Structure 1
Amino acid sequence: MWFAGDNSEVPFTTLGAEHNIMIAVFLLGCIVVYLTRGLIASRLQRPFEVGIAVSLILFELGYHTWAVFHGNWDVRYSLPLELSNFSVILTIVLLLYRNEKLFHIVFLIAIGGAIQAIVTPVLGYGFPHFRYWHFFYTHIAVIWVVFYFLWHRAYPLPFISVIKAMIFLNILLPFIYGVNLLTGGNYWFIMEKPAGGSLLDILGPHPWYILGMEGAAVVLFTLLWLLFGTRRFK
């Protein structure tokens, strides 16, 4: 049941008990990361970082193994090209190399994308299915990790991080568009809005809502900087 190819036995219910528990775990974990700043011995930090990186790699490999095994893998939607996928990949690199400049980008795109996914998950598989654990662990872990680097390793978050993150996204945008043309996919929802309605509906018709998404990203990243950033422009 936990590795099945369909969700008939374990459907997911948004804001059901299994969802609310994960939201609570996420919030509690953020509090723990904040309260334990300075308490993790330096000799334990590196094993901790590598361990989390390995766990994220294993979860991602497990997801693709599951999708291929059950015939659910499709180039139109299974490539690791969604923003959450980039967040996981960059978080793994951050954990392994501890690059401060990379942190500037990862912090904003990880929190900006993962929080929305945690609160309004696009998930069909409930507890205790593997996809349930994969979805919530990867989205929650990337946020805990960037807070760890912010509070435990005291990495600064200057205002230029907002600019870097927007440049990063806009460099990727034409690449994602090209992949969509080649595969018939809709990565980043830049070919069309998701079926069934979404927040993108308030941003206008295609392709103008893409500009709305850009504006929303600027506002969100700026708010995150105001909340957690270094109050100096450099």
Structure 2
Amino acid sequence: MSVLTPDTLTGFPTFDYLNHMYGHTLILLGVSVVLILTKERPYLKDYFTIMLFTSFIFLPAMYGVNFLLDTNYWYILEKPAGDNIMNFMPEAPMHIVALIPVASWLLTYLLYVPYQLKDKNA
């Protein structure tokens, strides 16, 4: 989601924007390489388990941490600065309620469909 919601006040091609995209894209690339090299794969039931854990256990805990430490991890207390997908959502913290279904559908679709197509063709 960080690639869709960059936390930079300036856009492309500034250093802040490129640094943000470079770092977060390398994280995604690293996870992808490990999945491919170890021949691991996600299963659909894993996505539902992860989304339930994230939405009902980890998210409330992060809200508490953000509130106590006056931080904004996961953009729970405030939306990220700049123009991004979160501008179309309600004001914080209710934007998380709209973001959970979007993120879960988008991530499940983007990450699982290639494996589903591979299974179908095998």
**TM-score, normalization by structure 2:** 0.67
**Corresponding residue number in structure 2 for 1:155:** 40
**Corresponding residue number in structure 2 for 1:116:** 4
Cα distance change of structure 1 residues 204 and 172 upon mapping to structure 2, 3 Å threshold:
same
Cα distance change of structure 1 residues 221 and 140 upon mapping to structure 2, 3 Å threshold:
closer
Task: Give, in whole Å, the separation in 1 of the partners of 2:21 and 2:83.
Answer: 22
**Corresponding residue number in structure 2 for 1:176:** 62
1:221 to 92, 107, 112: 107
Cα distance change of structure 1 residues 192 and 145 upon mapping to structure 2, 3 Å threshold:
closer
* Structure 1 runs, 4 residues or longer, greater than 4 Å off: 229-232
Task: Give, in whole Å, the separation in 2 of the partners of 1:148 and 1:157.
Answer: 14
Please state how far the C-alpha of 1:155 moved relative to its aligned partner. 0.7
| Paired positions, count | 113
Structure with higher Rg: it is 1
Cα distance change of structure 1 residues 115 and 178 upon mapping to structure 2, 3 Å threshold:
same
Report sequence identity in percent. Answer: 27
**Cα deviations by residue, 1:189-226 (Å, 9 ceiling, x for unpaired):** 22232345542232223443211110111111221211
**Match of 2:77, SS?**
coil
**Corresponding residue number in structure 1 for 2:15:** 126
**Corresponding residue number in structure 2 for 1:208:** 94
**Alignment RMSD:** 3.3
Task: Give the letter for the 1:179 counterpart.
Answer: V
Please state how far the C-alpha of 1:153 moved relative to its aligned partner. 2.1
Cα distance change of structure 1 residues 197 and 144 upon mapping to structure 2, 3 Å threshold:
closer
**Match of 2:96, SS?**
helix
**Cα deviations by residue, 1:124-169 (Å, 9 ceiling, x for unpaired):** 7739xxx94x872x42332222222332221121101211321342
Cα distance change of structure 1 residues 144 and 161 upon mapping to structure 2, 3 Å threshold:
same
Cα distance change of structure 1 residues 163 and 203 upon mapping to structure 2, 3 Å threshold:
same
1:143 and 2:32 aligned = no
**Cα deviations by residue, 1:154-189 (Å, 9 ceiling, x for unpaired):** 112110121132134222211211112112222222
Give ranges in structure 2 of 5+ residues lacking alignment: none
Task: Give, in whole Å, the separation in 2 of the partners of 1:231 and 1:169.
Answer: 27
